[in-house]
Amino acid sequence: MPKRASKRVSFLFFSFLILLFAIAMVLYHISRGGTLAAAAENQQTDTVTPVSLRGTIYDRNLDPLTGNGVTEYSAAIVPTLQTANALKSILPTDRMSAVLKIMKDGRPFTLRLPKNMLVPGISVFPVKSRYDGSRLAEHVIGFLDGSGQGASGVEKAFNASLSAGGKVTVSYQVDALGHVLTAGKGTDTDTTKESQSGVVLTLDRSIQRLAERSAAKYLKKGAVVVLEVPTGKILAMASLPTFPQDDVSSVLKSAGSPLLNRATSAYSVGSVFKLAAAAAALENGISPSETYCCTGSISVDGQAFHCYGSEVHGTEDMKKAVAESCNTYFVHLMQKVPPANFLQMAKKLGFGRSFSLAPGMESATGTLPSLANLSVPRALANFSFGQGDLTATPLQIAAMVNTIASGGVFTAPSLVSGRVNAQKTYVERTTTPSGERAMSDKTAALLRSFMKESINSGTSKKGKPHYGTAGAKTATAQTGRFINGKELNESWFAGLYPYENPKFVITVFSEGGDTGGTTCGPVFREIADGLYGYVS
């Protein structure tokens, strides 16, 4: 082939390759452009979330403790003249002015409405408010902060799982400026199915209500704890004064510290601790027939210790000393028990330790004197009848009484049963704490008989139920704090019900007030009577 012809063929060949490459590039860009265009079209949606659902907190019967308030209306709104006129008819002028500023943007938005309405461009979703205003178990449940996150109580402890309760979303087709293309038409709502999942507590809604109503009749500041025997499950835990969960800011500076959960806070104990002292004595071989003649006071290391009101009880054995709450008897008695053994019994009964009720939700530890401190005769004398450095929570006192009611086995109180899914089926169950023997069954039986004597003829008489039998112990603890020249006492009434086969432990605490029997006894009686239907 001639050289010139060869060059011409080569030129045509390379031209053909370039043409093919060019065609391929055009096809590539066309294809890519189509993909990008489709992607851009798919991205021309605007999604709003009118409702963020929060998981439910249930009682032990799976009755809701949250999410059962008044019906509220959340809406997804398309800015149009029609929707503006509709909103103007139901919103106050100042609020409507704010809404009009939002509508100028032209994008869909969400709004809480005072009532339901059927208007094109407004999608309304009825929802129940988080709290019903009853203030039921508010110190346990807690409350939410301004962003809807748990700020205290169970709401805070399980915030992560409760926050994943679900949501309602509304998606709109919009143009490049974000304006809805077909206002009121073609919307797509998507509701997640986990909105009723949540946390199950050991609380019983009816018993909680009973405890709160009974406490409110007699106490201004205080607490009530009701435990199930022998599991230690918390059936009710109330604290006074109460607070509105949906308006916490209104009580931040209120007198009486209404946000404080007094059921899990530590206070001076007083004579209810004589049950622990009696247990230590009995476990160390001292006979319940041990007698002592009370003259109203006893001297220890040059200091006089008196019975309440300097009352003279005369000769008493252990049962009578518990029933009549004789301080001098126990000062005498505990001089016969090694201080280390006495302190160890207190620890076995839960004093000086915190109870974990939920993640990050723990009761106060209270205070116990050290063994070195108890080597001082005056300190040991004070400890003998629950005074001095000793402090404890109502929950700890309830745990002590539950040990006595349970035949001497201590079980830490518990609050959470587990978690359930949308169908209220358990997906996780909390393991009930295992019990530890703190005293013999014989010792526990003797203590129960002492408590029965107290409620039948001793300081606990004012708490004796009208229905069924019970055993109890009172306390009136001196605090060393004075208001208008009068010392502030902290009063207690702790007992088991019914006596023959205990099912419940009831502990009542009053910050202030008179004696434990006078101030707290009527609360115990009313709760026990209300529980009669559970045991009859």
What CATH number corresponds to the domain at position 340?
3.40.710.10
Which of 454-463, 464-473, 476-485 has the weakest average pLDDT?
476-485
pLDDT of residue 178: 79
Are residues 376 and 389 in contact, defined by beta-carbon separation less than 8 angstroms? no
The answer to the question of residue 36 being in a domain is no
pLDDT of residue 103: 93
pLDDT at 188 over 60: no
Q: Each residue of 251-267: b (16+ CB within 10 Å) or e?
A: beeeeeebbbbbbbbbb
- d(Cα 236, Cα 497) in Å, to the nearest integer? 15
- d(Cα 141, Cα 413) in Å, to the nearest integer? 17
197/214 same-domain check? no
CB atoms within 10 A of CB 376: 16
322/463 same-domain check? yes
CB atoms within 10 A of CB 228: 20
H-only helix segments in 106-246:
138-141, 153-157, 159-163, 205-218
pLDDT bracket for residue 432 (50, 70, 90): confident
185/211 same-domain check? no
Strands of 54-107, DSSP E? 56-58, 71-77
Burial class (CB in 10 A: 0-12, 13-18, 19+), 188: exposed
pLDDT at 16 over 90: no
pLDDT bracket for residue 192 (50, 70, 90): very low
Mean pLDDT, the chain, as a whole number?
Answer: 89
pLDDT of residue 180: 84
Give 91's contacts (C-beta < 8 A, 6+ positions apart).
99, 114
pLDDT bracket for residue 336 (50, 70, 90): very high
In tens, the pLDDT along 263-294 reads: 999 999 999 999 999 999 999 999 999 999 99
Are residues 432 and 415 in contact, defined by beta-carbon separation less than 8 angstroms? no
Mean pLDDT of 103-109: 91
pLDDT of residue 100: 95
User: What is the total count of domains within the chain?
Assistant: 2
176/117 same-domain check? yes
pLDDT of residue 29: 44
pLDDT bracket for residue 47 (50, 70, 90): confident
452/469 same-domain check? yes
Point out the domain boundary residue: 182, 201, 220.
201
pLDDT at 8 over 80: no
The answer to the question of residue 119 being in a domain is yes
C-alpha distances (whole Å) from 200 to each of 192, 209, 358 are: 21, 17, 11
pLDDT at 5 over 90: no
The answer to the question of residue 60 being in a domain is yes
pLDDT at 35 over 50: no
**Higher pLDDT among residues 278 and 28, named by residue:** 278
Residue 345, domain extent: 205-535
192/263 same-domain check? no
Which of 49-58, 292-301, 344-353, 363-372 has the weakest average pLDDT?
49-58
Point out the domain boundary residue: 176, 201, 226.
201
172/214 same-domain check? no
The answer to the question of residue 435 being in a domain is yes
Are residues 512 and 397 in contact, defined by beta-carbon separation less than 8 angstroms? no
The answer to the question of residue 30 being in a domain is no
230/182 same-domain check? no
pLDDT of residue 230: 97
In tens, the pLDDT along 56-92 reads: 999 999 999 999 889 999 999 999 999 999 999 999 9
Are residues 224 and 493 in contact, defined by beta-carbon separation less than 8 angstroms? no
* Residue 139, domain CATH: 3.90.1310.10
The pTM score is: 0.86
pLDDT of residue 44: 77
344/440 same-domain check? yes
Mean pLDDT of 134-142: 96
In tens, the pLDDT along 395-423 reads: 999 999 999 999 999 999 999 999 999 88
The answer to the question of residue 303 being in a domain is yes
In tens, the pLDDT along 203-256 reads: 999 999 999 999 999 999 999 999 999 999 999 999 999 999 999 999 998 989
Work out the percent of the chain whose per-residue pLDDT is above 70.
Answer: 89
pLDDT of residue 28: 41
Are residues 515 and 476 in contact, defined by beta-carbon separation less than 8 angstroms? yes
166/291 same-domain check? no
Point out the domain boundary residue: 158, 186, 201.
201
Mean pLDDT of 8-26: 43
Q: Locate tokens 């000086």: which residue?
A: 352
> If DSSP codes are grouped into helix, strand and coil, which group holds residue 174?
strand
389/469 same-domain check? yes
The answer to the question of residue 224 being in a domain is yes
pLDDT of residue 535: 86
172/210 same-domain check? no
pLDDT of residue 9: 44
pLDDT of residue 189: 52
Mean pLDDT of 105-127: 93
Pairing state between β 56-58 and 198-201: parallel
